[in-house]
Amino acid sequence: MNAFMRCDRTVAWAALAGHYQAHGRDLDLREAFARDPARFEHLSLQAPEVFADLSKNLWDLATRKLLVDLARECGLETRRDAMFAGAAINTTEGRAVLHTALRAPPGAAPQSAPVHAVLDSMLAFADRVRDSNASGFTDIVNIGIGGSDLGPRMAVQALEAFTQPGLRLHFVANVDGHDIAPLLGRLDAERTLFVIASKTFTTQETMANAAVARRWFLAQGGTDIARHFVGTTTNVKVAAEFGITTTFGFWDWVGGRYSMWSAIGLPIAIAIGAEGFRALLAGAHAMDRHFANAPLADNLPVQLGLLDLWYRNFHRFSSRSIAPYHQGLSRLPAYLQQLEMESNGKRVDLDGRELPFGTSPVVWGEPGTNGQHAYFQMLHQGTDVIPVEFIAVRKPAHALTDLHAMVLANCLAQGQALMLGKSTDVALSERVSTASATLDVLTLARHRTFPGNRPSTTLLLEELSPYSLGALIALYEHRVFVSGAVWGINSFDQWGVELGKSLCNDLLPRLASLDTTGLDASTAGLLRKFAGP
Ligand code: F6P
């Protein structure tokens, strides 16, 4: 049994339920702004590197106060401090959760000595590889999946402006051969370094792709496996059996989806160099300090995590859309899907008791402005309310200022349109050249009405740099921690991925043998179809 109060049994939860009925459900953002001219100032926050406008959300200062009361009553601060101190808060695996120690300066967090020893040697290696003239490497291929892929892939793309010219970074995750096969066809074995990234070094997809890469390397006449393959893993022994002699280790207290700050970040370090990687860590550490020390009402990860809970459990919104208005952040939604849904997609509390309320929302999105021309129709006029999270960057990394002004204006316009909407009266007063000339005007105006009052958050970075990206990602990590902690779930295990893995191991040989004994009729029928005539 754990000592924490289940959130839906607290005094604050009951108060929030009453507040939702009285003021929350029918809150109208347009009226709220008219009532409080300082609403923007009241409900926006500056955290390290990230400014957040939370004022276009369906809440007010009273909601915020009650949510903070809820966090306190559920022991959020105690759980947060336990995480930073290295307590085994991942109870189902009996592990500490110490990704924050990976970005703390020497001596400032638990496990500092091993963390900095690996960091120093990994960064020295990264800088040697990065110098293509000296190292001979022009292509770096990271083979990994889930947390051993999504973070590095997202960050390398985001920080392209800081990447060593002439160096190409590739990522292979999928066990589908359509991922690795075309890439290998483009590579020169002599100039390629493979990074086999796997916390466990047992993941089926990664091991299969690593074996393909090794076969290809040998078939190309390559001989020096030890020079062309390195490992980033907690399982140094199995990596050595593969023929890998250069391994950068990490520890079981680093969750896969929290591992881009560890040796798993090697591709990032190769791309942006040791100095850049240290800046990434420092930005994340600045956010860690903010999370650890800022009062709950001024604490951005706390505010975001509590707002997520307010939407999920009181408004009953089941999804959130991420809209980064920066092409470099186009892998951020995919990264956040694992971070949030693998962490908080849980249906039992810490004591294993089924929860009567919703947990992780579905997180999804695309970079703006692309998403506007795809699914924003539904966000504006669909039947479901989906909170949108805009991420904007004030200074671009290019000189095309006219395009950058357009991207910022589009970002602003979407948040404004979601909130303001358009009444049928306004729609009636407009003449639209593309509209049907035969349909009656009222019917047409109804189709062109926007209900508005749709919530959004805007996060603003001054620029996208290693330091600010570190702060942004740490912000998301802690926000997921906050909602998970208040819900009383274990945000750090992932038992839900196990069943499919073991069934796959059972089905793989059946694809060849066509043995369908004991299978349900659908799986048996599909297996025969998959196997072909
Ligand atoms: O899919 C489950 C999972 O364990 C993730 O949590 C993890 O990020 C991924 O697989 C990859 O695991 P590994 O790094 O051990 O190969």
The per-residue pLDDT for range 417-456, each reduced to its tens digit, is 999 999 999 999 998 899 888 999 999 999 999 999 999 9
Give yes or no for residue 148 CB within 6 A of ligand 1.
yes
Q: Are 248 and 231 in contact (CB under 8 A)?
A: yes
Confidence of residue 2 (pLDDT cuts 50, 70, 90): low
Mean local confidence (pLDDT), 187-198: 98
- Identify any residues that bridge with 365 across adjacent strands, giving them in sequence order: 322
Any residues with CB less than 8 A from the CB of 159 and at least 6 apart, and which? 268, 271, 272, 276, 280, 328, 464, 465, 466, 469
Q: Is 241 a catalytic residue?
A: no
Quote the ligand 1 centre to 255 CA distance (angstroms).
Answer: 9
Radius of gyration, alpha carbons of the chain: 25
Both tokens of 61, joined, read 């200062």
Mean pLDDT value of segment 504-515: 96
Q: Which residue has the tokens 């507040």?
A: 19
pLDDT at 5: 83
- Closest residue (by CA) to atom 8 of ligand 1? 147
Work out the burial of residue 265: count CB atoms within 10 Å of its CB; fewer than 13 is exposed, 13-18 middle, 19 or more buried: buried
- Ligand 1 centre distance from Cα of residue 200 (Å): 8
Q: Is 497 in the pocket of ligand 1 (CB under 6 A)?
A: yes
**Pocket flag, ligand 1, residue 206 (CB < 6 Å):** yes
Percent of the chain with pLDDT over 90: 96
Q: How confident is the model at residue 532 (pLDDT cuts 50, 70, 90)?
A: confident
Q: What is the mean pLDDT of residues 264-288?
A: 98
Mutate to test the pocket of ligand 1, among 174, 201, 203 (most ligand atoms within 8 A of CB): 203
> Residue 22: helix, strand or coil by DSSP?
helix
- Lowest pLDDT segment from 232-246, 333-347, 391-405, 472-486: 232-246
* Separation between Cα atoms, residue 197 and residue 268, nearest integer Å: 13
Q: Give yes or no: 49 in active site.
A: no
Instruction: Give the atom of ligand 1 at the shortest distance from the alpha carbon of 264.
Output: 14
DSSP classification of residue 330: T
Residue 218: CB within 6 Å of ligand 1?
no
pLDDT surpasses 50 at 495: yes
Q: Supply the residue whose CA is at minimum distance from atom 3 of ligand 1.
A: 146
Q: What is the pLDDT of residue 531?
A: 92
Mean pLDDT, range 107-118, rounded to an integer = 97
Q: How far is the centre of ligand 1, averaged over its atoms, from the C-alpha of 506 (Å)?
A: 20
Which of 117-131, 232-246, 337-351, 359-373 is the least confident region? 232-246
Matching residue, tokens 């009567």: 356
C-alpha of residue 145 to centroid of ligand 1, in Å = 6
346 carries an active-site annotation: no
Q: Is the pTM of this model over 0.85?
A: yes
The active-site residue out of 342, 366, 389, 477 is 342
What is the average pLDDT score of the chain?
Answer: 97
What is the Å distance from ligand 1's center to 375 Cα?
Answer: 30
Residue 1 scores a pLDDT above 70 = no
Q: What is the mean pLDDT of residues 289-300?
A: 98
- pLDDT of residue 7 exceeding 50, the answer is yes
pLDDT attached to residue 509:
96
**Atom number of ligand 1 nearest to Cα 256:** 8
Residue 452 alpha carbon to ligand 1 centre in Å: 40
Question: Per the residue annotation, which of 31, 42, 275, 373 is the catalytic one?
Answer: 373
